[in-house]
Amino acid sequence: MVTRGVVFDLDDTLYLERDYVWSGFNHVATLVATSPADAGAIADWLWSRFEDGVRGDTFDRLLASHPDLATRVTAAPLIDAYRNHRPSISLLPGAAQLVERLRRSGTRLGILSDGPLASQVAKADALRLQEWFDPILLTESRQPQFRKPDTGGFEWIAATWDIPHEELAYLADNPSKDFVGPRRLGWRTVRIRVPGQLTFALDPVDDVHRPDVEVADLTAAGTLFR
């Protein structure tokens, strides 16, 4: 079956999410620090917590461990600054080449990504994804049924393109939620498993969550769409 449309996840599929996290921590540290040395120390502290697996309350922990900082700022503006900053991130090796080749072949290209809307918009802008992809469907801007693992977003893209589900493919990284919806509809599903991804060590819990194909990088993914 010919693949007429390919949809990509964003985080840890087209770029490494840990690069975004580091970029955001550096931005926040620069905003709140009293000196360059202080900024470096704060960024290192935040990154150390991330490497330890801390998620969700990192800035609350920062303020609890830095009482002097807590007298000047609360967690809410730090979260806003993190989510709204222009990230310093870059495409994974092979991404631009794969996308350009697919586009030249006439394949439709789209994005479907979960995550806080401001962050996802900033990432898409930083990577200049608008030059290649249409639509860029950021599910936080839609109803809950558009978010993975539901099928709403995939159904919407298929209808927008007027392409049957069996002629579409989804490339993503996270077997806990990424492949259930599109597989249910008949899409081809491809897992990109690259060292450095936050989900790299995560295995599917069952066949429902398992992708059709797993590849080690985006260059290898290109061999699937000849």
User: Span 105-119, mean pLDDT?
Assistant: 97
Contact 125, 86 (CB under 8 A): yes
Question: What are the boundaries of each domain within the chain?
Answer: 5-16+90-224, 18-84
22 has a pLDDT exceeding 90: yes
DSSP annotation of 106 reads: T
Dump pLDDT digits (tens) for 120-132. Answer: 999 999 999 999 9
User: Span 84-90, mean pLDDT?
Assistant: 97
226 has a pLDDT exceeding 80: no
pLDDT category at 91 given cuts 50, 70, 90 is very high
**Tokens 């930083």 belong to which residue?**
126
CB count in 10 Å sphere of residue 23: 19
- Between vectors from CA 151 to CA 149 and to CA 152, what angle results, nearest 5°? 120
User: Span 168-174, mean pLDDT?
Assistant: 98
DSSP annotation of 15 reads: B
Interatomic CA distance for residues 68 and 12, integer angstroms:
35
Closest CA to 4 of 90, 110, 136, 91: 110
The predicted structure's pLDDT at residue 142:
96
Can you identify the CATH homologous superfamily of domain 5-16+90-224? HAD superfamily/HAD-like (3.40.50.1000)
pLDDT category at 222 given cuts 50, 70, 90 is confident
Tokens representing 15 are: 């770029």
pLDDT category at 111 given cuts 50, 70, 90 is very high
Interatomic CA distance for residues 96 and 131, integer angstroms:
11
pLDDT category at 61 given cuts 50, 70, 90 is very high
Q: What is the mean pLDDT of the chain?
A: 96
